Structure 1
Amino acid sequence: MAEGLINLLYPKQVYTRSCGVFAGERDPFVDSVMDEVGMDITDHQPKTFEDLAEDGFDLMVTLAPEAHHMALELTRTQSVDVEYWPTIDPTVATGSRSQIMDAYRAVRDTLKRKIEQRMD
């Protein structure tokens, strides 16, 4: 979601890549809530830190404790700012489809606000 939001809010202004700690499948709830804000991410494939064979980033933002620890370890010899934005994992949401979608929307909207605050 974060990469998609940055690309939506700051097209071609910010070089962005996203990855996670664990390999996983695309999440259809993410596709749905991003589609609601006009962002088609159906071509995006989830990646892990190992898949992201790039460096030279100025900033890494992590959303989960495991990712934060991994980012700090990977960048310990680099001049990279690493920020931790604690984010609730919407995949643990239960209830009706509407309730689950609300959990994903809350994450999307929180990330959007944090990105705008960080970029302004």
Structure 2
Amino acid sequence: MAEGLMKKLHGQDIYVQSAGVYNDLEIDGFSIAVCQELGVELSRHKSRSFDEMQEWGDDLSGFDLIVALSPASQRRALELTRFFHLDVEYWPILDPTGLGTQRAEKLDSYRQARDQILQRMETRFGGAGE
């Protein structure tokens, strides 16, 4: 979700690569739905792990910043970057998975998470076109 939202805000001005601790999770349908509300297409987005990023040629030392959205991803990022000069920030974002029992409640939780990510991005990197 974060990669798509960042590209929506800044296009090609900032290079963004989304990665996680694991790659075995498909992009959640609720994430796809709430991002589509903002014109962000995630349905073709592929989940990848930090290890896959490195295997595919993305050298972590070439990045300036890693933003972790979970404690597990923060721990993994800190492990991988202990020899590099780049920052790791942890953004405590609501984890919407498992919240709500009705579709509308679930969508509301995902919207909250989406909006928290957007707010953090705008605070950290500025709004669109800045």
TM superposition score normalised by structure 2: 0.89
Match of 1:62 in 2: 68
Q: Which moved more, 1:91-100 or 1:110-119?
A: 91-100
Deviation at 1:15, TM superposition (A): 0.2
Match of 1:11 in 2: 11
Give the aligned residue type for 2:100: T
Match of 1:31 in 2: 32
Match of 1:20 in 2: 20
Say which SS state the counterpart of residue 83 (structure 1) adopts: strand
RMSD: 0.9
| Equivalent pair of 2:27/2:46 in contact (CA under 8 Å) | yes
> Matched residues, percent identical?
40
Count of residue correspondences? 120
Q: Which runs of 4+ in 1 moved over 2 A?
A: none
Deviation at 1:52, TM superposition (A): 1.2
Match of 2:86 in 1: 80
TM superposition score normalised by structure 1: 0.96
Match of 1:99 in 2: 105
Give yes or no for the alignment of 1:111 onto 2:112.
no
| Alpha-carbon distance between aligned partners in 2 of 1:35 and 1:6, rounded to the nearest angstrom | 14
| Alpha-carbon distance between aligned partners in 2 of 1:102 and 1:5, rounded to the nearest angstrom | 17
| Alpha-carbon distance between aligned partners in 2 of 1:68 and 1:57, rounded to the nearest angstrom | 15
